[in-house]
Amino acid sequence: MRALPGHAAIIWSRFIFIHRRAKYKIQAMKARPDRIKKLSETLAALLDQEQRANQTLISSLIEQARVIQGSSADRRLQRFISQLKSLQERLDLMSDMARRDFLLKIGREAEELMTAMADSRAARVLMSVVENASASLNLFCESLLDSLIEVAEAQKGFILFYLPESSEAQIIAARNFETTDLSLEEYDVSRTLLRSILDHRAPLLLEDASQNPAYSNEASIVKFGLKSVLAVPLKHRNRAIGALYIEDNSRPCAFDHEDQKLLENVAEFVIFYLDKARLLPIVFEEDRKVFIDADRASKEIVGRDPKILSLLEMVKRLADSPATVLIEGESGTGKELVARALHYQSARRDHPFVVINCAAIPENLLESELFGHEKGAFTGATSRYLGRLEPADGGTVFLDEISELAYPLQAKLLRFLQSNEFDRLGAKKTVHVDVRIVAATSKDLKVMTEAGNFQEALYYRLNVIPVRLPSLRERKDDIPCLIDYFLGKFSDVYGKVVRAEGEVYEWLKEYSFPGNVRELENLIHRMVALAEGDVIRVGDLPGEILQITSRRIDLKKEPLYRALETPPASLDELRRRKSEVRRVMAEHERRLIERVIEESGGNLTEAASRLGVHRITLHKMLKKTRKPSED
């Protein structure tokens, strides 16, 4: 009989253990809301297990009591059996209550708590952004990123925008990365991940990238020790136009599905805000954009003119050549597109493409910007700076507007081109890098060299393979296909289908486009953005194009029309018509030559190049147009 109370004590002690364990788990829930559901399920299973164990134990006790009862009819024993049955009923009731009431309550509170936690974190991010709302896209993104990294407890992150039709991308804000240049090595793995996010328009959550079969073999993941990654697309009108990206390399599983939900909620707000603030579509800075899809680089060069087809063929042949390329052409002809095509079609495509606009950097900062400096190298040098050349190792450096490079710095660039070595300002050690140089200019470097404004040795070092881009005036037959290309591009950006009526093509073909393809692109962009319907009409064209001719004319009343289209009445009339045609054509030739010379700043060599003739031929043409016309 003494053993029976001991068994009952075991039951109670096990139940107390369960209760304490449940209490401990509930306390743990408060510290980790995202585990509440899982813990409540575990607790339910534990209670079921304990209920079955208790039932077995009580059944054993009752059986033992019946055996004893068979040899003795003690009323105390009967009372004990009755108490055991009552205990069994109470345990069943308590277990049932735990399942039906207590655990359901935990589940409901868990869901409410997780929702509240997610909502409160999103609210913290959004309130911080709204309180610091700015009309500047950069400032808005920087404020958003700071709040997002703090709330999600991430190490680093960036906000990127993207053009699906061209695959161009640009980082607007970044934290704890060396730069915001997406082409550099530190973004290698990010570019790989971004292709998947932007193509599928779906979030990406990696608990440990180094153990993920899809990415663990990536050299950049091993090199940078990438672990936890979370990225969500920014979607506008069912198109992925950017991404929010955070990572933490200090630990795996730093982010979970609640963090993913947080970023998705924030992404929806970001697009709503930017759309209402009229900050969409994003206009990229030419020297910071990168092609996520390398194959798209050469597709940006649009045209069917023999000069363009020959250019594209040359790009293919030169892509893997180590030789320096000098691209010459007027402003707006697409020199950077050719440089990008050379890079992205070469074996260097997975390495950085670094753009340096020599005209945009102050002369006193250019050397530091190119070669970098050590801390304390000059006043204001508070930290070490690698410059633009060193991070480009293995890739391509595009020196735009090389003609604007300060004369003293030309000698240092020449030394670098000869040896691929340079000295960082304030450093004692020489740096060696493997980069390919592509330079571009809108001026005649040979003329500048002859005038003593550009170093001759540097000119010949750069001009190993010259590539000349034709102006839009030289390939007017490409204007219609360029119009169609830009209409498609910006229709996608604005989420509408816009076309142009036939007469618009004719008017634009007659315009000279001094700003070349860039001017045409900006014009189509403006007209698509402002289009009230789905058709662009002649009346939508700007005044400078419509002023080509200010009135409709009756061709039948024009002398030249009669001279060319009606049969002459006599031989004398035929001679007079020939004289008239020569006079009109000579006048047009004179005006053309004078306009091109004026646009070239009086530089006859440049004017001859733009006209497609030799300088001596241009001199002869000038003398001829100054003579009176002869019959």
- Burial-class residue 416 by CB neighbours within 10 Å (0-12, 13-18, 19+): buried
Model pLDDT, residue 580: 77
The DSSP code for 329 is -
Cα distances from 8 to residues 56, 64, 75, 371, 470, in angstroms, run 12, 13, 19, 83, 98
Q: Could you tell me the two tokens for 607?
A: 């004017």
Find residue 422's DSSP bridge partners: 431
168, β-bridge pairs? 163, 291
The tens digit of pLDDT for each residue in 340-357 reads 899 988 988 878 888 888
Nearest CA-CA partner of 610 in 510, 471, 500, 428: 471
pLDDT in tens, 365-380: 778 888 888 888 888 8
Q: Give the pLDDT score at 423.
A: 87
Q: 294-468: what fold?
A: Rossmann fold (3.40.50)
Q: Which CATH architecture has domain 555-626?
A: Orthogonal Bundle (1.10)
Predicted local confidence at residue 15, as pLDDT: 44
Distance (Å, rounded) from C-alpha 55 to C-alpha 61? Answer: 10
Tell me how far apart the alpha carbons of residues 55 and 415 are, in angstroms, rounded to a whole number: 90
Task: Kindly report the backbone phi and psi dihedral angles of residue 110, in degrees, each rounded to the nearest multiple of 5, phi listed first.
Answer: -65, -50
Q: Which two tokens stand for residue 239?
A: 């198109």
The residue extents of the domains of the chain are 3-122, 137-276, 294-468, 472-546, 555-626
DSSP 471: P
Pick the CATH number of 137-276 from 3.30.450.40, 3.30.1330.10, 1.10.10.10, 3.30.70.20: 3.30.450.40
Residue-level pLDDT at 28: 45
Strand partners, 500: 536
pLDDT for the residue 25: 42
CATH classification for the domain delimited by 472-546, as one of 1.20.140.10, 1.20.120.10, 1.20.1250.20, 1.10.8.60? 1.10.8.60
Q: Which residue positions in the chain have pLDDT lower than 70?
A: 1-51, 53-54, 57-58, 61-81, 83-84, 86-120, 129-135, 164-167, 178-192, 216, 218-220, 223, 281-298, 548-566, 625-631
* Helix 571-599 vs helix 604-611: crossing angle, to nearest 10: 120
